[in-house]
Structure 1
């Protein structure tokens, strides 16, 4: 069920019977010369809506601007400051609690959001308002990702390329895959910006001239479909597990 497509009486019936919602989050930021700036939020919404379709759980509209100042040097990148993002997501999630939701999965596809979503989840749990957890698609299937790609690249690499080839192939500039590979670097390690145990970089541009890492020519839509199916299954399993938990068991442990 997609919230924005429903009438309020139909949603009232959902809230009377169910207590879980899926909230897709991503970013709008550069993903090299071959992928759209909406890569992360397209992927997040794809997973959330598919899991909602398979389970009947509620999927909210997508939060498509995230914490992305580390991509600011590249045209079109959008971002909000971390405190603003955290406050917005917390307020958004409290809306759901007002309607009767008491557990949320942040279906996330942008690494820059992770620590902030964890902080929001802690705030809400400490207030005993709602139990909200972050889920990152590639972290749910690490063995498959490693199996499919020799160098998967942490940003704009073959795993994200394959996922968009599967979900929105018309948005992929296939004629730029070699340029993406040759104009970037294979990995942060190869960029040489980790020195003596310190990460000396702050922005993507410190590591790579075109904003991406990995070998994008290793991507195919078929690999994207395999990852999408495997990770969707993980998300469905997580949602069903979470729905089964007594709410009191999800709240903080008492002081010893």
Structure 2
């Protein structure tokens, strides 16, 4: 069920019988020369809507702009500062609890949102308002991702490319895949392990991270080998991650609420 499509009288039964909401969140930021700025929020919304369709749980509208200042040097990237993002997410989550929701799955497809969604969940858990979890699609199926791609990457790489090829193929510039791989960091893990000579300063020095922005490491903003992506692989990723999300929602909906709340002081 998609909340925004419903008339308010038709939501009464859901709120009377269910207590879980699925909230998709992403970003509007550069994803290399080949993918749209909408990549993250398209993936988050696609997975959230699919899980809602399969399970019957409520899906809210998508939060399209996230914490993305580390991509600011690339044209069109949008972001909000972290404190405002946290406060906004906390505020609308408290709004959901007013209607009877007491557990939320944040379906997140942007790495820059992770720690902030977890902090919101901690706040709402501490005052026993709701139990909220942050879920990243690729972290739910790591073995499949590794099996499908030889050179993966955390941003604009083959897994995100494949997902958009599956979800919105008309937005993928397939003629730029070679340029994306050649102009970015193709062997991401070796690069950060110091096994690939960087053009500028190394990303890590004696355990300290030396960068703040994506462009410090990647000239075109991406990591991994995008030429390894296909729509068929994207469909496989999408189906597997959707099933993981449904199972998470079912577990959370069935959990005893008191057992989810903070333990007593020792």
Matches within 5 A, 1:108-187: 108-186=108-186, 187=188
The counterpart of 2:235, out of the listed 225, 234, 238, is: 225
> Deviation digits for residues 90-121 of structure 1, max 9, x if unmatched?
00101100000000000000000000000000
> Deviation digits for residues 45-77 of structure 1, max 9, x if unmatched?
000000000010000000010000000000000
Matches within 5 A, 1:32-71: 32-71=32-71
The counterpart of 2:225, out of the listed 199, 215, 224, is: 215
- Pairwise CA distance, 1:209: 0.4
The residue that corresponds to 1:248 in the other structure is 258
The residue that corresponds to 1:100 in the other structure is 100
Over aligned residues, Cα RMSD in angstroms? Answer: 0.7
TM-score scaled by length of structure 2: 0.95
Given the alignment of the two structures, is residue 196 of structure 1 paired with residue 213 of structure 2, yes or no?
Answer: no
Unaligned runs of 5+ residues in structure 1 are none
| Structure-1 separation of matches of 2:181 and 2:248 | 35
| Structure-2 separation of matches of 1:250 and 1:79 | 32
- Pairwise CA distance, 1:194: 1.2
- Secondary structure of residue in 2 paired with 1:210: coil
- Secondary structure of residue in 2 paired with 1:132: strand
| Structure-1 separation of matches of 2:207 and 2:126 | 34
TM-score scaled by length of structure 1: 0.99
- Secondary structure of residue in 2 paired with 1:135: strand
| Structure-1 separation of matches of 2:55 and 2:238 | 16
Which stretches of structure 1, 4 residues or longer, exceed 2 Å deviation after superposition? Answer: none
- Pairwise CA distance, 1:195: 1.4
Unaligned runs of 5+ residues in structure 2 are none
